Amino acid sequence: MSNTIRFEVDAGGIATLTIDVTGKPVNVLTPEFHADLAEAVGRIEADATIKGVIITSAKRDFMAGADLKDLVTVHDRGVSAAEAAAFSGSLNTLYRRLETCGKPVAAAMNGLALGGGLELALACHYRVLADAPKVIVGFPEVTVGLLPGAGGTQRLPRLIGIANALPLMLEGKRVKPAEALKLGIVHETAAAGDVIARARAWLATGPEPLAPWDRKGFKVPGGIGMQNPGIVQTFMVGNALVAKATWHNFPAPPAILSAVYEGCQLPMDRGLAVESKYFGKLVSGAVARNLMRTLFVNKGLADSLARRPEGIEKTQVKKLGILGAGMMGAGIAYVSAQAGMEVVLLDTSLEAATKGKDYSGKLLAKGMQRGKVTQDQADALLARITPTADYAQLAGCDLVVEAVFEQRDIKADVTARAEAVIGKNTVFASNTSTLPITGLAQASKRPGLFVGIHFFSPVDKMPLVEIIVGKKTSKEALARALDYVAQLKKTPIVVNDSRGFYTSRVIGTFANEGMAMLAEGIEPALIENAARMAGFPVGPLAVSDEVTLELQWKITRQTEQDLGARFVRGVGYEVLEKMVSLGRLGRRQGGGYYDYPADEPKRLWPGLGQHWPVRAEQPPVEELKKRFLFIEALESARCFEEGVLSHPADADLGSILGIGYPAWTGGALSYIETVGLPEFVAECRRMTRLYGPRFRATRSLKKMAGSGQRFYPLPTAGKAA
């Protein structure tokens, strides 16, 4: 019948629609599927011999929803909110036709059902879900700046009640079969091979082809409207929690609340129209574009190793050497052993190396307490980590990662000692966060196999790895580094060599701007809160405490020593120097900008006001938010102009996943496009006059603003979502 749906009718009049969208690993909502489903529904409506319908999938999973690669272009194509709403409206109309076709329809969900796939199932009268470990259902749309736009905001609350439905949509939570059954999202669960038989058994009972909300006297479980105190409280609390979690930077959560509140007080068809209106506003907006482009499209490309050089055979690390068993080395050992690698964890003494291995033991103990790790799994992982002080044990390693102190002479020493043992084709990687790879590679006898692999702390939680290509780093070394990161199931970005590379260089501007504000007499709490209100996970003073002011000072002094007369003091230099002289070195050293009392929340150190008195008149919070967003975006633009970055996607992924740039922006370079390049350059001009040359727009930004260029090319203009 089509390239997306197989339509078969058996002798008993049961039509089976088997979804199989060609060319896609999972079923997604494509224009062709939409047309084929419309044709199928028309046939179901018109054919009196069809007594019932089963919808299932030929693929491992049922359906994953809309193809975000299409939706991501809506904003840049200039599609209006009304036009985008029509896309949602057409899908709602189609699903509603299926729901009211006069024939009972059962969904035989043989695998996961997310987004529009779950919405298709909800438009069926009966749902059987496969009970298997990897099967989940849910509405993840909020994570990419959208709301369920094919009936989800209307059917789910009517089915399981508003109090149960809102968290699933506001948090993008996915639930397993048992919970889906308990909540009432599905009617029964069965083995994957039995879902069609169970759906057929339900049809054999001769059920009435009506959804609950189409029955006379239907009421939303738990109630709806201002007359219900419990529901009023649900929405009041929901609004407060959304505001606290998003600082009003993400439009999707309040849109979900509004669609549910307004739509569920209306008949279904009018409620669906309300949903489509809000969907149109979201999908045509910049925030949804930013989230879809960076965290779905570009992340997917990075995870599939889009930056990997072609023509080089894929490799796998079976044995890994790690030099340095401190926090970073210990974290790298854990994630590598978790990925199945044999790990040699080397330090200056067996005691120090064993302490590094103990870090993995502590993480595993927590995992066992939470029921996520078994004793056998923990024992097997720990058995793969060998602590040692003997360089000879590095023999046979496929890759060595150096994670010692940020001092050039120490790194040079361990490089030479390791290279005396490892094979001639073993890649050597430095986990340095700031020192140029080209300079460190001077201590290597084979700089072509020397590469930077920069992890973020804590390694077990941070998803990003920054790979740095030195002047002599070969394509083979880059490819093998990327293969290693893929084994860890982390997201890589690739940058060219520079002092601080990309992420450390950019987050340094964030910390410096906080110190500059402190020196200006801005209230420390206002500095921290402004950053959080902009969408940063923590303020610049808290970040400095976590990184440690001691490390920042060592890096600053090393840079000063390396550059000599070319060194320029940053705006935070004097503040940092003062804090170090006062012994306020950071959280691990007992306190920095914050105090850390035992068994109490951290609090800003009262002594800050003594050394940097707070001025009487404080600036607007919006101005402080802008300073943080602009200073990191500007440094990203400088990195792009200087060739540290070759692709804007690496800047956007690196800034969000590595250093906490607000996700709603899509990343540092996407933020510039969200503001608009001409507007961004004009604002830089104003801020330069107020705060100094660090806010001066780069030459390439000015050129782009004048010529209408962008970091990401515009898609072909169009009028359909």
Return the active site residues: 454
CA 505 – CA 600 distance, rounded (Å): 33
In the block, which residue shows the tokens 């002092």? Answer: 499
Order across the sheet with 385-388: list the strands: 385-388, 342-346, 319-323, 399-402, 427-430, 450-455, 464-469, 491-496
Contact residues for 99 (Cβ-Cβ < 8 A; gap 6+): 105, 123, 124, 125, 211, 214
Contact 554, 493 (CB under 8 A): no
Q: Cα 109 from chain centroid?
A: 27
Question: 18 in helix, strand or coil?
Answer: strand
Backbone phi and psi for residue 58, each to the nearest 5 degrees, phi listed first: -85, -15
Q: Which residues are 50's β-sheet partners? A: none
Order across the sheet with 113-114: list the strands: 113-114, 137-138, 174-175
461, burial (CB in 10 Å: exposed 0-12, middle 13-18, buried 19+): exposed
Backbone phi and psi for residue 52, each to the nearest 5 degrees, phi listed first: -165, 165
Question: 395 in helix, strand or coil?
Answer: coil
What residue type is assigned to position 513 of the chain?
Answer: E
Q: Which stretches does DSSP call E strand in 415-526?
A: 427-430, 450-455, 464-469, 491-496
CA distances, 35 to each of 2, 32, 90, 113 (Å): 10, 5, 11, 20
Cα torsion angle, 316, 320, 326, 330, sign = positive
Tokens of 90: 């057409």
The half-sphere exposure of 200 on its side-chain side, counting CA atoms within 13 A, is 14
* Nearest CA-CA partner of 40 in 1, 10, 13: 1
Contact residues for 707 (Cβ-Cβ < 8 A; gap 6+): none
CA 190 – CA 150 distance, rounded (Å): 26
What residue type is assigned to position 523 of the chain?
Answer: E
User: Helix crossing, 268-283 with 152-160: angle to 10°?
Assistant: 130
Contact residues for 663 (Cβ-Cβ < 8 A; gap 6+): 291, 294, 295, 535, 656
CA 526 – CA 513 distance, rounded (Å): 13
CA distances, 568 to each of 33, 374, 408, 462, 645 (Å): 59, 53, 21, 32, 23
Backbone phi and psi for residue 331, each to the nearest 5 degrees, phi listed first: -65, -40
User: What torsion, rounded to 10 degrees, do the Cα atoms 189, 193, 199, 204 define?
Assistant: -120
Strand 126-130 to strand 105-109: parallel, antiparallel, or no bridges (unpaired)?
Answer: parallel
Q: How many CB atoms lie within 10 A of CB 235?
A: 17
Q: Cα 431 from chain centroid?
A: 23
Question: 17 in helix, strand or coil?
Answer: strand
What residue type is assigned to position 551 of the chain?
Answer: L
Backbone phi and psi for residue 427, each to the nearest 5 degrees, phi listed first: -80, 135
* Nearest CA-CA partner of 612 in 585, 582, 640: 582
Tokens of 525: 């709490």
